[in-house]
Amino acid sequence: MIPRHSTASRPLSPLGRAALAYARRLDLFVLPLREAAKEPHGRLAPRGWCSATRDSRTIEAWWHRAPSANVGVACAPSGFLVVDIDPRNGGDEELARLSRELGALPSTWTALTPGGGLHFYFRHDGSSVSGALGPGVDIKHRGYVVAPPSVHPNGGIYRWDAGSHPLETVPVATPPTWLRRMALSPRPSLLRAASGLDARESFLGSAFAALGWLGRELADGRRLARCPWALLHSDGRGDGADSSTVLFGPRPGATLGWFACAHAHCAGRTVDDVLRALPADAIDAAARAYPDAYRSVVWRLAGSRRVSRS
């Protein structure tokens, strides 16, 4: 006897059909994301991109339960690295510079984001890659990307570029030599020499600790930290549990500290940017612990309401 509410005969939504096609026809590992959002669906994909699968029955069940769920593609299980171009952070200009100096990217699967960005898909052998190539040019591998026809938070639709649809004729390319070489190199900003002093004992460390954003101490005094822009990190890095975002201890004789994040959304961010992003109560907590550093902060951010004290 067929259950009254069986989903066997119910058609999938367009998003569900796309997810199923990616898994069945392209062997991609997919996962459901929240409706019109970039974050994994908490109930259906509790382990984030690690919940991704290409099992048809699981995918059908997911999108029967959440027909409007966006579609995520897990990069590493699918054998990809994805170059994510974010024009808001200068990614289009950086890509143009890299193409002029090193060579244009080959034709490959290319998705258009509603924010004006691009996702270039490339085959990858699974070796570790860096988090970014430069300002606004991110590398996704251990994580996921939002795939068409998902809905952006701004209401726009992710689409495949004309002539670059994976279900049509364009094969996914292997990355050019220069891209592979750069992707395997760590970002210079994370190679900043650590002072050896505990990053907790600094103005930034106190502010992050007040927010619960400060993680464990590393051997050289750095601290894992939650990135103030973590919600922009679609690969889930930067939540304070991995080393992609760190605070550095202050230089001898100083108390401010330093910040670095490997994600492309944060390429080029300065300490001043971090200070502007911190809530006023966190600034106040740090100011009480380090009044001399606070005077420097006020001088650096003169006119910013975010650092004014009541």
Identify the helix (H) or strand (E) that includes residue 139: strand 137-140
Q: What is the pLDDT of residues 232-284, one digit of tens each?
A: 776 677 888 877 788 888 877 778 888 888 776 675 677 888 888 999 999 99
159, 111 Cβ separation under 8 angstroms: yes
**For position 9, what pLDDT does the model report?**
60
247, 257 Cβ separation under 8 angstroms: yes
Total Cβ atoms within 10 A of residue 177: 10
User: Which residue type is seen at 117?
Assistant: G
Q: What is the pLDDT of residues 176-207, one digit of tens each?
A: 988 888 887 554 444 445 567 888 999 999 99
The secondary structure of 66-111 as a DSSP string is: -TT-EEEEEHHHHTEEEEEE-GGGTHHHHHHHHHHHH-PPPS--EE
pLDDT at 147 over 80: yes
7, 64 Cβ separation under 8 angstroms: yes
Q: Is the dihedral of CA 301, 307, 309, 310 positive or negative?
A: positive
pTM: 0.61
**For position 234, what pLDDT does the model report?**
66
